[in-house]
Amino acid sequence: MNLSSKKSFLYFFVLAFLFLLNISFVAPVPIESMCFDMSAKILNKGKYVAVSGQVFYKKSGGLMVTKFTKPSETITLTNANGEMKIYDIKANTVMQMQGLDFSSDNSFFYYFLCGKTQDMGLKSTGFKLESTKIEDGMVVTQWVPNKGESSELSRIEMVHEKYKPIFMALYNAQKKVIKKTYYTNYQKIQDISFPLNITEFTYTTKGDSTITRRLYSNVKTNKDVDETVLNFKIPGDAKVLAPAKK
7, pLDDT greater than 80: no
> Is pLDDT of 224 > 70?
yes
Identify whether 112 is part of a domain: yes
- Could you tell me what percentage of the chain is helix, strand and coil, using 3-state DSSP and rounding each to the nearest 5? 20, 50, 30
Whether 23 shows a pLDDT value over 50: the answer reads no
Helix segments in the chain, DSSP class H: 3-24, 108-113, 227-230
Q: What is the pLDDT of residue 151?
A: 79
20 part of a folded domain: no
| Ranges 34-48, 97-111, 168-182, 218-232: which has the least confidence | 97-111
Which CATH number does the domain housing residue 154 bear? 2.50.20.10
The pLDDT assigned to 168 comes to 97
Q: Is the pLDDT of residue 195 over 60?
A: yes
On whether residue 124 sits in a domain, the answer given is yes
Structural domain total, the chain: 1
Nearest to residue 169, comparing CAs of 183, 189, 186? Answer: 183
Within its chain, how far is the Cα of 3 from the centroid? 61
pLDDT value of residue 61: 85
pTM: 0.81
Residue 22 has pLDDT above 90, yes or no: no
**172 located within any domain:** yes
Q: Is residue 12 part of a domain?
A: no
Range of the domain at 221: 28-241
Is residue 93 pLDDT above 90, yes or no?
Answer: yes
